[in-house]
Amino acid sequence: MKRALFALLALVPVAVHAEGNMMVDNAWSRAALAGRTGVVYLSMMAMGGADRLLGAQTPIAEKIELHESYQSEGVSRMRPVEAIPVAAGGTVTLAPGGLHMMLIGLRQALKPGDSFPLTLRFEKAGTVETTVKVGNAGGMDMKMD
């Protein structure tokens, strides 16, 4: 099953990174100033059993926090979460207005067209390396080519 899926993905012109039982796709960020806060969105798919995203790191930020956006009394709010579960065979998409990663203390500006490395840490799959592509500051969705 895995071989068939990876063969099919080889025909699709998008950046897909798979290690262990986790596949990561379409990692992107918005433009941001150095010293400020940035964001990362992406999709994760558990190719085997259930797993949990526990954290991430990148050389371009002091730290990364997992967050979720929610509505409370008509106001959009955000709070940190300890982990992001991914059901067996399931896909979780981090996107504007929902789950996302906050890049705290950017060490450099994020400019449209730039990219940077990101290491995701999963409970069972271990680490998965991917590349994040930077889009416009106000971008709500970005598909990697």
Q: Digits of tens for pLDDT over the chain (145 positions)? A: 444 444 434 333 344 444 568 999 999 999 999 999 999 999 999 998 999 999 999 999 999 999 999 888 989 899 999 999 999 999 999 999 999 999 999 999 999 999 999 999 999 999 999 999 999 886 655 554 4
Structure tokens that stand for 65 in this block: 């926090």
- 120 within 8 A of 10, measured Cβ to Cβ: no
Please give the pLDDT value at position 21: 86
- 109 within 8 A of 33, measured Cβ to Cβ: yes
Q: Which domains does the chain have, with CATH numbers?
A: 2-135 (2.60.40.1890)
CB atoms within 10 A of CB 99: 18
Closest CA to 86 of 121, 51, 129: 51
Please give the pLDDT value at position 137: 81
Cα 62 from Cα 104, distance rounded (Å): 6
SS3 state of residue 7: helix
Closest CA to 63 of 54, 71, 55: 55
Please give the pLDDT value at position 142: 54
pTM metric for this prediction: 0.82
